[in-house]
Amino acid sequence: MSLLAPLFLLGLLGLAVPVFIHLIQREKKRVVKFPSLMFLERIPYSSVRRRRIHNWALLLLRLAALALVVLAFSRPYVIRPQRTVTGTGAREVVILLDRSYSMGYGDRWQKAREAARKAASDLTLSDRASLVLFDADAEVAVRSTEDKDRILAAIDQASPSDGATRYAPALKVAGTILNESSLPRLEATLISDFQRMGWLGSDTVELPEAATLIPVSVEGPVSTPNAGVAAVAIERSTFENQERITVNASVTNFAATPLPGTSVSLEIGGRAVQTVTTDIAAGARASVTFQPVTVTGPNLRGTVRLANDGLERDNARHFVVSPISAVPVIVVDRAPGSGSSSLYFTRATAIGERPSFAASVRPPDAVPDDELKRAAVVVVNDVAIGSGLAGRLRTFVEQGGGLLVIAGPRTTWPGGGDLLPASLGGTSDQSKGDAARLGAVEYGHPMFEAFRAARSGDFSAAQFFGYRTLTASPDSRVLARFDAGAPALVEKAVGKGRVLLWASSVDLEWNDMALKPVFLPFVHGALKHLAAYAAPPPWLTVGQSLDPQTLSASVADPVAVSPSGTRVVLAGEASEVLTVDEQGFYEVRGAKGIGAGAVASVVAVNVDVNESDLTPIDPKEIVAAATIASGGVRVEQTGMPLSSEAQERGQRLWWLLLAAGLAAFGAETVLGNRLSRA
Amino acid sequence: MEPSSPIPGARFVDPAVLARIGNLELIAKSIVDGFINGLHKAPFYGSSVDFAEHRGYVPGDDVRRIDWRVFARTERFYVKEYEADTNANFSVLLDMSKSMDFGTRGITKFEYARILAGCLTNLVHRQRDRVGLVAFDDDIREHVPPSAKHMEVVLHTLDKLVPVRAGKLLPPMKKLAEFFGRRGLLVVISDLYEEPEAVAEAIGPLRFRGNDVIVFHVLDPSELDFTFPDASSFEDLESGVQIPVVPEGLRDEYRTLVKAHTEALRKKLAGHRVDYAVLDTSKPLDFALFSYLNMRARLMRTR
């Protein structure tokens, strides 16, 4: 039996209070001066004495209640024999070494390595040890070996990575290793700077029940200045037909001291082009805007860099920009002069920058093969399509192209039109009486993204005097309907591509939609959706994966080269999914064929800026989470015998004592009332 | 002691209010004035100054008191005698023992007794009687001999009395019994915390020289009813002895004892032809004055 808060026992001195009061009361409580005790002295004394005996019972009850409450506050617990910690025998030790980039701050990495070496040196001949290096992922460097030297060598080889800290994966790996062990004593040593951001409250870790977790904190005072580039925003603009970018960087000072005169520089192509000086208050964020820079060519590499400070890796933020390439669009229309109806449509495609569209109008019998291959979208504008072109278009769509069919009065499609999402029916003439209007529109669809917000575009303003009656096929999706319920816009996925069918014209022949404000965003939305356009991200964060599809489309057998020079084959039989784990620029090159060796694309990779925040967490929090996750009263994972707090928490004797004390107080009240009434 | 009938115009003022006035002369005067106004129609008022009898002249009598008209008719010397009490000696024997310094209703027994003494003195003074005062505890502490001019002295002496010592009735009474040689009226005001036999033994001798004696037994209501709520230690005001007491438990016994005590006193004193009245300090002083006059009237009728 022991006490968690023995100082509370001082409260037992409070027991003296009722006794003291009782003693005083017996003789001196409320002295009443009375002229003469002549008569009182004649009255027998017995009534007084009887009362005193009753008082003793009440007093004992009060004392018991007080003592119980005081004991409850001192939180007693029964010391139970510990299971394994004090036992002897060979140990299975897992050394978890944090190698996140924050370990590069100050002398943390040296301290951590020292701690790891010490843990390894403490091993006896019969012990087995593993070394797990972890940042956001855990890597088992050495698995369960008796060879102490291997562990020491692995520790010496380890170095901080560019990753962020996450404790849960490392602890899970440790749990797996310890679970597999047959040795009697299980230990895990967690060496880290214990950053708060590395531990999510929801993380669950599964250490075996008998395992102990020894946290070794290398966290030191955060005295050295530590600032980081938290974010970079790139704004594009066009100036005299040249594309320009304006870089806006946000710099955060994580330290508790202000940083006056911090210089922030912008590097383009590895060369510093601008430097801006700014003051950052302690714990604050400052924004820096650089002068616009012209985008001279594809894959322009940029870096926003701070002067070196306590933590080096968060001082640079890389990005890659390329000139925006126009989306190639072929508009198949009747020959010019024969009543071309593409005027409004082509004008609409000529507007806009993100993306811009390069539309070329071709008659149905003159669509060149190479042009079709390059095109992202083909628009068939109210023409009769021959079977030859229909077949080519089917191939085009199946390979990932987008097809927009505008069904006017002249549109026909050979072969039953199974490429189209709906079969073309007759013409519905709405020129007499009320014109038809667009009723239901699927605003949830990506192509209507621009209209999703309230009051952003009114499709019902447009009047439709004629449209083709469509019968949607079962595998298609109707995106818009006329107010009579007939489909107006139908979509279908074919192969890798998509087909959209619009039931009316895009000129003024059948409707006035081309004159309405919704027309331009409608056309842009449709083309963007068909071209599957997505702006390339200016950078990735360490830990994300490269998408080989988007990077290697233009080169054969692409190979990615990491900033440190490692080559990874992205396509072919030996292809790997590449997880970027280094800060800097990854280059994708063609390994052979045309353009071998030339850089096809560049990907900027940045470190997770959250890791810059060195705010520590109490290691006990992680240890406690491990305890709770395993459940029950047992040895806590601290390497020491189960802490008294944990033992007490498991037993909760205080609760019983407090309840008993309150019950005693209740009984005292009842008894006291009854006595005073008697 | 309750009045036998309501007295028109009498001022039934709460003694606690009077105690706050402080000026004893004013209090005594105002109470007595009001009291006398209320008694205008009392049948016995004025009878005490009436002519009583003729008596034969004896050498030593003042020749001025010889009734010459009777001499003219009878040629014998007669002396005219009036009712003696018209200017009798009147003395208040006031107990100033420590036990009198007790009160629970805003006025202590001593204050009450003092006001009562003042009122009686004032009342008697208006009847041209000689007034005197004796204050005692276990001995005589103050003594103002009876005199027609001593009204102010009595009031002044009353005013400065402070009860500090324990009281004992017998020693001072013994001395006084010898002192009051001339026939007069003695009013004893005390709380009489002694055995009835001892009280009778102490007060009885006052009668020996022909004095009329009235005993006012002044008690606080709580002394009569013992209405203390909580268990407490009770300390004797005079001896300082404490005993723990649970009032609830012995209230009835106490009341019985007090009642027996007052009854025993009444009997014992009556045996000595001493008038006895219990005064409750919560009752207006008028009751006391009324009972005094009542007694006086009775004394005159039975003479």
| Full 3-state SS string of A9-33 | HHHHHHHHHHHHHHHHHHHHCCEEE
Q: What is the mean pLDDT of residues B21-40?
A: 59
* C-alpha to C-alpha distance for A51 and A675, rounded to whole angstroms: 9
Helix axes B109-126, B285-302, angle to 10 degrees: 50
- The whole-angstrom distance between A66's CA and the closest CA on chain B is 25
- The whole-angstrom distance between A38's CA and the closest CA on chain B is 7
**Residue A342 CB neighbour total at 10 angstroms:** 22
pLDDT at position B135: 93
Chain A residues close to B235, C-beta within 8 Å: 31-34
CB contact under 8 A, A48 and B249: yes
Residue with tokens 């504008």: A381
Taking alpha carbons only, the member of B123, B91, B67 closest to residue B211 is B91
pLDDT at position A639: 43
| Nearest residue on chain A to B256, alpha-carbon basis | A39
Residue among A25, A43, A52, A55 with most chain B CBs within 10 A, to mutate: A43
Q: Does residue A125 contact residue A100 with C-beta atoms inside 8 Å?
A: no
Query: DSSP string spanning A442-492?
Result: -TTSGGGGGG-STTS--GGGS-BSEEEEEEE-TT-EEEEEETTS-EEEEEE
| DSSP category for residue A231 | E
Taking alpha carbons only, the member of A129, A174, A169 closest to residue A149 is A129
Chain B residues close to A27, C-beta within 8 Å: 233, 242, 244
Q: Which residues of chain A have pLDDT under 50?
A: 27-28, 46-51, 82-86, 552, 629-640
Tokens of A675: 């006595």
User: Among A81-95, A132-146, B62-76, B284-298, which stretch is predicted with the lowest mean pLDDT?
Assistant: A81-95
Q: The sheet that has A567-569: what strands, in order across it?
A: A540-541, A599-606, A584-590, A558-561, A567-569
Strand pairing report for A477-482 and A487-494: antiparallel
**Residue B183 CB neighbour total at 10 angstroms:** 13
CB contact under 8 A, B102 and A35: yes
| Nearest residue on chain B to A25, alpha-carbon basis | B232
* C-alpha to C-alpha distance for A481 and A627, rounded to whole angstroms: 60
CB contact under 8 A, A47 and B246: yes
Chain B residues close to A23, C-beta within 8 Å: none
Q: Does residue A483 contact residue A503 with C-beta atoms inside 8 Å?
A: no
pLDDT at position B233: 80
- Strand (E) or helix (H) holding A38: none
* C-alpha to C-alpha distance for A166 and A172, rounded to whole angstroms: 11
- Of A26, A36, A42, which has the smallest distance from its Cβ to B238's Cβ? A36
Q: Which amino acid is at A153?
A: A
Per-residue pLDDT tens over the stretch B121-160: 888 887 777 889 999 998 999 999 888 888 889 888 988 8
Q: What is the mean pLDDT of residues B178-185?
A: 75
* C-alpha to C-alpha distance for B103 and B119, rounded to whole angstroms: 20
Q: Which residues of A419-448 are buried (b: 16+ CB within 10 A; e: fewer)?
A: bbbbbbeeebebeeeebbbbeebebebebb
Q: Does residue A246 contact residue A289 with C-beta atoms inside 8 Å?
A: yes
pLDDT at position B94: 93
- The whole-angstrom distance between A36's CA and the closest CA on chain B is 5
- Of B193, B233, B253, which has the smallest distance from its Cβ to A36's Cβ? B193
* C-alpha to C-alpha distance for A29 and B224, rounded to whole angstroms: 23
| Nearest residue on chain B to A40, alpha-carbon basis | B254
Q: Does residue A285 contact residue A303 with C-beta atoms inside 8 Å?
A: no
Q: What is the mean pLDDT of residues B244-256?
A: 83
| B 203-222: CB under 8 A from A | 220
CB contact under 8 A, B253 and A43: yes
- The whole-angstrom distance between B19's CA and the closest CA on chain A is 19
pLDDT at position A386: 84
| B 3-62: CB under 8 A from A | none
CB contact under 8 A, B258 and A39: yes
CB contact under 8 A, A34 and B235: yes
- Of A28, A39, A45, which has the smallest distance from its Cβ to B257's Cβ? A39
Residue among A32, A51, A54 with most chain B CBs within 10 A, to mutate: A32
pLDDT at position A83: 45
B100 has pLDDT over 70: yes
Average per-residue pLDDT in chain B? 79
| Full 3-state SS string of B201-266 | HHHHHHHCCCCEEEEEEEECHHHHHCCCCCCEEEEECCCCCEEEECHHHHHHHHHHHHHHHHHHHH
| DSSP category for residue A382 | S
Q: What is the mean pLDDT of residues B271-295?
A: 81
Q: Does residue A500 contact residue A526 with C-beta atoms inside 8 Å?
A: yes
pLDDT at position B263: 93
Q: Is B197 on the interface with A (CB under 8 A)?
A: no
Helix axes A167-180, A619-630, angle to 10 degrees: 50
pLDDT at position A29: 57
pLDDT at position A28: 47
Higher pLDDT, B162 or B244: B162
Q: Is the dihedral of CA B219, B220, B226, B231 positive or negative?
A: negative
Q: The sheet that has B212-219: what strands, in order across it?
A: B140-147, B130-136, B89-95, B184-190, B212-219, B275-280
Cis check for the bond before A355: say yes or no (omega within 30 of 0): yes
Name the phi and psi angles at A288, rounded to 5: -125, 130
**Residue A73 CB neighbour total at 10 angstroms:** 19
pTM of the full structure: 0.49
Residues in contact with A454: Cβ distance below 8 Å, sequence separation at least 6, in sequence order: none
Q: Is B238 on the interface with A (CB under 8 A)?
A: yes
CB contact under 8 A, B257 and A33: no
Q: Does residue A315 contact residue A306 with C-beta atoms inside 8 Å?
A: yes
Q: How confident is the model at residue B10 (pLDDT cuts 50, 70, 90)?
A: very low
CB contact under 8 A, B193 and A47: no
B7 has pLDDT over 90: no
Q: What is the mean pLDDT of residues B200-211?
A: 83
* C-alpha to C-alpha distance for A186 and A128, rounded to whole angstroms: 10
CB contact under 8 A, A35 and B99: yes
Residue among A25, A30, A34, A51 with most chain B CBs within 10 A, to mutate: A34
Taking alpha carbons only, the member of A664, A669, A666, A668 closest to residue A67 is A664
CB contact under 8 A, B249 and A47: yes
Tokens of A88: 């002897």
CB contact under 8 A, B250 and A27: no
Which residues of A make CB contacts under 8 Å with B?
26-43, 45, 47-48, 51
Q: Which amino acid is at A459?
A: F
Q: Which amino acid is at A57?
A: A
* C-alpha to C-alpha distance for A614 and A292, rounded to whole angstroms: 34
| Nearest residue on chain A to B250, alpha-carbon basis | A43
Tokens of B57: 């002249």
* C-alpha to C-alpha distance for A291 and A293, rounded to whole angstroms: 6
Q: Which amino acid is at B301?
A: R
CB contact under 8 A, A27 and B258: no
pLDDT at position A35: 87
Q: Does residue A295 contact residue A321 with C-beta atoms inside 8 Å?
A: yes
| Nearest residue on chain A to B220, alpha-carbon basis | A35
CB contact under 8 A, B102 and A33: yes
pLDDT at position B277: 86
